[in-house]
Chains A and B, each alone.
Chain A
Amino acid sequence: MIDAPSSRRLDHRLPERFMPTINYDLCRVCRRCVNECSYQALEFKESRVVPSGGCVACGRCIAVCPANCIEVRPVPPQFAPHGNWSERSRRSILAQASSGGVLLSSCGADDTHPPIFDDLLLDAAQVTNPSIDPLREPVETITYLGRRPGRLEVCDGKVIVQEDDTPLIRMDMPLMFGHISLGSISYNAQKALFMAANELRIVAGSGEGGLHPDFYQYADRICSEVASGRFGIKPEYLKGVAAVEIKIGQGAKPGHGGHLPGEKVTTMISETRMIPRGTDALSPYPHHDIYSIEDLAQLVSVLKESTEYRLPVGVKIAAVHNVGAIASGLVRAGADFLTVDGFKGGTGAAPRVIRDHAGLPVEVAIAAVDRRLTQEGLRNRVTVCAGGGVRSSADMIKALALGADVVMVSTSAMIAMGCRVCQQCHRGLCSWGIATQRDDLTSRLDPQVAAARIVRLYRAWNEELKEVMGAMGIDSVESLVGNRDRLRYRGPNPKIAEVMNVKHIGEGWG
């Protein structure tokens, strides 16, 4: 047997990546850092706090230290330099040789693919059109989500508004929170998101983990997700909410399912997901009743029927290479809105090989979907939501200009709550009480405080959106959506600009 124990077996312990460093001149030995470190990377030994290995740079100790005496330093490269065999690749190989498993990770792809957002520059108005100061004049960001009729019928000179046929959700800004399930994050974290969505008057995704009865009060701001595991789907989950979304894929792991390990399936999670306590919650890779587009059309119809056509029903897909044609199929299958999730989108756990290597950057995906739907005369029928790697208001604005009606954000909301993107969500030890189900950790997050931080963040983004629109001479966000004329590409590969139908810097239009 190859895997036999051996006296010559070596542990192959990997060098530390981060080193908490304590300034003992300032340390009061209160040991709060030791208690707060859920990764047990600090210990109290011989009357002082010392690092004990395994630091992930979650930053909790830094934040709680009353003496401000902790620094977390990245450990310098410990491997002999090599141009091809990066430290990252060697670490992966060593870890995999030890475990023999699929390497897991979380948050979005952390690879070196540079974001295309950073290669896009925005336009501004000069002379031939005046810019607008949003503090003096109205600049509107109200956005509607759902199917649009394409045209209004006119009968005898009277314009007919058939309001009941086309349910739409009104939002104060072109922004929605992505789907983060209860299970992948804590009760308190999800509560904070819903409270913030309610306050911001936007929509938050429920994730695929059902809806806790405590959150029914926010239902009119919640988009319920119907994913392949069909967890927690019951009448209350579909009827009082703002919208329903069928999840086909997720940007961080296109073509992949989900797996919430049994140890995270607490009593609360089991009740909400409607599965036995302690069992693994497995989401199949595909929906096993959707093996083709006509099957999807049936599920869309079923959801519309069961919600009495009162709710927009959308479909979320991961951005993959043929995203334009797939999007067109979704509209033809009856989707009222589409969500396109780019490959830098976040996740609570995903195989690293898929997270880092599969899918399409959301920038290109948005442009492809927008163009394809326009070519097919469908673009003014649906709302296109897109996200996955949107880090700032600038990214949001560029995503809008590329053709998204609504921009989906998640990781930035997590960061607003406290997340430091240490990418350990899959371990369930989140020291900030976000991506964990451990009571002692979840109690660290005050939903009220976290919600207030989220609200402040996105209100500021919305102000920045108004500032940029005003500078462009645009006074309402619908005139920015898909307005690729107001973008220029300055990156290394003009082919990308061509594919996105964005002009190169230096190219005017007159």
Chain B
Amino acid sequence: MIHRKDRRDRTDRLGAPVRAENYIASSPPGWQGQLGGCGIASLISLKGERIGGERITRMLTIMEERENGLGAGYACYGLFPDRSDQYCLQFFFDDEEGKRNVEDFLQGRLDIMHDEVVFIKERSTISPPYPIVWRYFVDVPENRVWRGDRDLGEEDYLVEIVQHINANVPNAFCVSSGKDMAVFKGNGYSYEIADLYDLDRYSGTMWLSHSRFPTNSPAWWAGAHPLSLLDWGVCHNGEITSYGVNRKLVEMNGYRCTVLTDTEVVTYLWDLLVRRNRLPIEVAAFVMAPSTYQEICLLPPAERRLAEWLRITYKEAFLNGPFSIIVGRSRPETTLIALADRKKLRPMIAGLSPDDGVAYCASEESAIRIVEPDARTWAPGAGNPFIAVAGKGVLRRGTEPSFQGVRV
């Protein structure tokens, strides 16, 4: 039971006042990014079965010490089996004008096959105004041109469209743009956001979730996690001390930073390394959280050479500082990746249901036990990725040697 509170009285769990300003699609004036601690939780059905939103909500909300009501979010994969080949662009609009702006912009650039409002249960505990949340199922037209470029691949074209909207189209923000997935996030406690979107009505083969404890406000709905581009969804707990360096790399490769958080850059890095540069996931994870040169010296010669060249070539992609991240994608297969920094300064625990049907990753063991009391759990190593694929199983527990299973 949540008590109704006057807006001015809104406080966090420990009684600190929470500012009433509330920004949705448009960023707060003077926005320079946000930092703080977080809770993350995820699950994936290894058998490819659909799991309801109620389960991920319980996982996330149990970690109540990890949030202070300034943002939470969920991403669901395998969400639209009937429209799985269309990109789902899900938007926050400040108002009807934002919606018109986006629809005007999309006119002739994308083929809108279907659009619908995203259900929102308006609640008094979340400060109004409430966003208009809308989704468009789109196809990318054959004859596409972006700034004179006729040869842009479908996905690169969509990246340009989405990034252009987020940087330039007023009163609108595209929160997710992948196939067969969508992001549900906003400004509030994890249970409030789950309730707001009525997550129980959705089910999917994989869920990511995130609750935050930022050290600053105001809150910005679009800046909450998961951050998403194409089908990438990233939930991140940590503070990347190399942000300025990582940002340079993604900007050099044409990404435009609009959210100004390290998580945004991490999202673009996954897209750059895995989708565009086609690095295997284990290799991309090594790039982001590499072994020390001292450890590299001990690898067999071929692996050693690969490791050195990865560090040299992608040194701007090295995520320094404490982090644990959960990353999802729906293409080519629904995949869950979990990764902690190379010193493992932020928590990450993995678990498997007794029947090997569902895999979990979360900041705390409690998040796993609340939904799967008999789960087998283990801690993935520092800088060592956990990888699970729907329909295939856990491909990597996060305890194996760096390049196990990678052709070198």
A residues whose Cβ falls under 8 Å from a Cβ of B: 125, 127-130, 132, 137-138, 140, 142, 144, 148-152, 154, 156-159, 161, 163, 168, 374, 377, 379-380, 472-476, 478-486, 507-510
Q: What are 5 A-B residue pairs whose CB atoms fall within 8 Å in the complex?
A: A138-B292, A142-B293, A374-B251, A374-B252, A380-B313
Residues in B with CB closer than 8 Å to A130 are: 322, 345
A152: chain B residues within 8 A (beta carbon) = 277, 279, 309-310, 313-314
What chain B residues lie within 8 Å of A158 (beta carbons)?
Answer: 407-408
* CB–CB B34/A510 < 8 A: yes
Nearest-CB residue, chain A, relative to B34: A510
Interface 0/1 of B378-408, CB less than 8 Å to A: 0000000000000000000000000000111
CA distance A509 to B239 in the complex (A): 12
Most buried by A among B252, B260, B278: B252
For B245, what are the chain A residues with a Cβ–Cβ distance below 8 Å? Answer: 478-483
Do B283 and A474 touch (CB < 8 A)? no
How many Å from the CB of B75 to the closest CB on chain A? 24
- Greatest chain B CB density within 10 A among A168, A379, A509 is at A509
**A508 neighbours in B (Cβ, 8 Å):** 32
> B244 contacts which of A132, A138, A486 (Cβ < 8 Å)?
A486
B156: min CB distance to chain A, Å? 15
Chain A CB within 8 A of B124 CB: no
Kindly report which residue of chain B lies nearest to residue A380, judged by CB atoms. Answer: B316
Specify which of A151, A159, A510 is in contact with B216 (CB 8 Å cutoff): A510
CB B171 to nearest CB in A, in angstroms, measures: 24
B243 adjacent to chain A (CB < 8 Å): yes
- Give the contact-size bracket for chain B: 35 or more
Known: A129-B239, A473-B320. A163 touches B244 (CB 8 A): no
How distant is B34 from chain A, measured CB to nearest CB, in Å?
A: 5
Q: Which residues of A contact B277 (CB under 8 A)?
A: 151-152, 154
A240 to chain B, nearest CB (A): 23
Minimal beta-carbon separation of A369 from chain B (angstroms): 13
Question: Is the CB–CB distance between A163 and B305 below 8 Å?
Answer: yes
Say yes or no: B316 contacts A483, CB within 8 Å: no
Taken together as a complex, chains A and B put the C-alpha atoms of A485 and B242 apart, in Å, by 9
Taking CB atoms, residues of chain B closer than 8 Å to A380 are 249, 252, 313, 315-316
Q: Which of A475, A476, A509 contacts B35 (CB 8 A)?
A: A509
A510: which B residues are within 8 A, CB to CB?
32-36, 214-216
The minimal Cβ–Cβ distance linking B316 to chain A, given in whole angstroms, is 6
Q: Report the bound CA distance from A480 to B321 in whole Å.
A: 11
B294 within 8 A of A: yes
In this complex, what residue of A is CB-closest to B345?
A130
**What's the Cα separation between A125 and B322 when bound, in Å?**
11
Q: Do A125 and B306 form a contact, CB below 8 Å, given A130-B345, A148-B313, A479-B318?
A: no
CB distance from B327 to the nearest CB of A (A): 19
User: Measured between C-beta atoms, what is the minimum distance from B65 to chain A in Å?
Assistant: 15
Inter-chain CA distance A471–B32, complex, in Å, is 23
A374: chain B residues at CB < 8 Å are 248, 251-252
On whether the beta carbons of B407 and A475 are closer than 8 Å, the reply is no
Q: Pick from B37, B214, B238, B292: contact of A140, CB below 8 A.
A: B292
Assuming the contacts A157-B280, A475-B343, A510-B215, asked whether A144 and B242 have C-beta atoms less than 8 A apart, the reply is no
**B313–A128 touching, CB < 8 Å:** no
| Distance A138 CA – B383 CA, assembled complex (angstroms) | 14
Q: Smallest CB-CB separation from B323: which chain A residue?
A: A129
Q: Is A478's CB under 8 angstroms from B252's CB?
A: no
Instruction: Write the nearest CB–CB distance from B108 to chain A, whole angstroms.
Output: 29
Does B168 reach chain A (CB closer than 8 Å)?
Answer: no
Expressed in whole angstroms, the Cα–Cα distance for A151 and B407 within the complex equals 18
Q: Once bound together, how far apart are the Cα atoms of A130 and B321, in whole Å?
A: 8
Are A168 and B312 in contact, CB atoms less than 8 angstroms apart? yes
A-side contacts of B37, CB under 8 Å: 128
Task: State in angstroms the CA–CA spacing of A367 and B407 once bound together.
Answer: 39
Distance in Å: Cβ of A497 to nearest Cβ of chain B: 15
**Chain B residues within an 8 Å CB radius of A137:** 343
Question: Which residues of chain B (312-370) have a CB below 8 Å from chain A?
Answer: 312-316, 318, 320-322, 342-343, 345
Given contacts A129-B239, A474-B242, contact A161 B305 (CB under 8 A): yes
Known A-B contacts A129-B239, A152-B313, A380-B252; A479 and B320 likewise in contact (beta carbons under 8 Å):
yes
Q: Output the nearest chain B residue to A150 by Cβ-Cβ distance.
A: B313
Complex CA distance for A509 and B243, rounded to whole angstroms? 11
Smallest CB gap from A484: residue in B: B244
In the complex, are the beta carbons of B313 and A151 less than 8 A apart? Answer: yes
Q: Which 3 pairs across A and B sit closest by C-beta, in order of nearness?
A: A479-B242, A479-B320, A485-B244
**For chain B residues 221-251, which have a beta carbon within 8 Å of chain A?**
238-239, 241-245, 248-249, 251
User: B34 — which chain A residues lie within 8 A by C-beta?
Assistant: 510
Name B312's closest neighbour in chain A (CB-CB). A144
CB-CB under 8 A for A478 and B280, given A510-B35, A510-B216 = no
Q: Which residues of A contact B345 (CB under 8 A)?
A: 129-130
What chain B residues lie within 8 Å of A485 (beta carbons)? 243-244
From A125, A129, A132, A478, give the contact of B316 (CB < 8 A). Answer: A478
Partner of B252, one of A156, A157, A377: A377
Complex alpha-carbon distance, A156 and B321, angstroms: 33
Contacts of A168 in B (CB 8 A): 312
CB-CB under 8 A from A473, the residues of chain B are 239, 241, 320-322
Task: Find the B residue at minimum CB distance from A158.
Answer: B407
CB neighbours (8 Å) of B313 from chain A are 148-152, 380
A138, A149, A163, A484, most chain B CB atoms within 10 A: A138
CB < 8 Å neighbour of A474 from B32, B294, B311, B321: B321
Q: Of A127, A479, A486, which is in contact with the most chain B CB atoms at under 10 Å from its CB?
A: A479
Given contacts A157-B280, A159-B279, contact A509 B242 (CB under 8 A): no
What residue of chain B has the Cβ atom nearest to residue A376's Cβ?
B252
**What chain A residues lie within 8 Å of B252 (beta carbons)?**
374, 377, 379-380
Which of B35, B245, B260: most chain A CB closer than 10 A?
Answer: B245
Q: Are B407 and A482 in contact (CB under 8 A)?
A: no
C-alpha spacing A148/B239, complex, angstroms: 28
- Is B36 in contact with A509, judged by CB distance below 8 angstroms? no
Q: Which single member of A161, A474, A481 contacts B306 (CB below 8 Å)?
A: A161
Q: How far is the CA of A125 from the CA of B345 in the complex (A)?
A: 13
Interchain nearest-CB distance for B319 vs A (Å): 8
CB-based nearest B residue for A172: B293
Query: Measured between C-beta atoms, what is the minimum distance from B177 to chain A in Å?
Result: 24
